[in-house]
Amino acid sequence: MYKITESVRNLTPSSVPTAMSLQNYLNNIAWGKQANVFFTVTAGSPVALSVHYDLLPAPNGNGMLDDFQASFGSVESAAIAQAILAVNPTNGTLANTIVSYVNKFGPPGSVSCTPAPGVTCRFIEGETMDGTHISYVEDPQDSDSNSRENITAHEVGHGIDSNIGDIRAPRRENKSLMWAGRNSNNGDPANPCEIRDREWRLANPTPGDQ
């Protein structure tokens, strides 16, 4: 688990959970309690990474890491991935299966959001990069943001098995840990943590459990 700072303005994330609180959430609330998958969380130094976020030309070169909805796969996100490998070379290549927690910055509050058709205007809370299994978790952006522990557990789910995907329908599953895009106006609960049977089978495959 790494916390990163922005080296131009020395910005630091404000809501990084402790290794103990995250390990407790993963083991006693989410994956451990329901799927019998347990984690030991190893935290990096208090400020493990320092990355120059302003790597894109204008208008995106704004002095901070852009939201992954806009910059997923960009040189900015790649720079953080490379920084992780620099401080922890045991991760090997980006193609391995290690999940790293990184708390990053989303857009400043003054940045407007243009939603896609039928999608509520909100910022992404976390992202797991397919093929790399490196997960990013943002500082909270709005009143609908879940806890950092909950969002990290959600992103870890993607890292356990790439077939554990986001759940967007039916709405009765909005209590699932893998529910995507919480909207309290639709009655979505905060910090949903239920593990569905199909996810349990992927997270902890057991011969004969079919």
- The residue with tokens 């131009």 is 8
159 near 128, Cβ under 8 Å?
A: yes
Q: Which helix (H) or strand (E) holds 137?
A: strand 134-138
CA distance 85 to 193: 30
Q: Is residue 67 in a domain?
A: yes
Domains held by the chain: number: 1
Angle of CA points 126, 14, 45, to nearest 5° = 90
Is residue 161 helix, strand or coil? coil
2 near 48, Cβ under 8 Å?
A: yes
Parallel, antiparallel, or unpaired: how do β-strands 101-104 and 134-138 relate? Answer: parallel
Parallel, antiparallel, or unpaired: how do β-strands 2-6 and 49-51 relate? Answer: parallel
Alpha helices in 109-205 (DSSP H): 148-160, 197-203
Q: Is residue 196 in a domain?
A: no
Domain of residue 51: give its range: 2-106+120-164
Note the pLDDT of residue 95: 45
Note the pLDDT of residue 72: 45
Q: Is residue 185 in a domain?
A: no
**pLDDT, tens only, 69-126:** 444 456 666 777 777 777 765 554 444 445 667 776 655 444 455 444 444 445 567 7
> Would you state the structure tokens that stand for residue 109, as one six-digit string?
């509050």
Q: Is residue 81 in a domain?
A: yes
Note the pLDDT of residue 116: 46
**pLDDT, tens only, 96-109:** 445 667 776 655 44
Note the pLDDT of residue 33: 95
Q: Is residue 31 in a domain?
A: yes
> Would you state the structure tokens that stand for residue 176, as one six-digit string?
């699932």
Which residues, other chains included, contact 171 with Cβ-Cβ below 8 Å and sequence gap of 6+?
A: 186
Q: pLDDT under 50 in the chain at which residues?
A: 69-72, 92-97, 108-111, 114-121
Q: Is residue 187 in a domain?
A: no
Note the pLDDT of residue 11: 73
Q: Is residue 37 in a domain?
A: yes
CA distance 157 to 99: 10
pTM: 0.81
- The residue with tokens 């039928």 is 118
Q: Is residue 28 in a domain?
A: yes
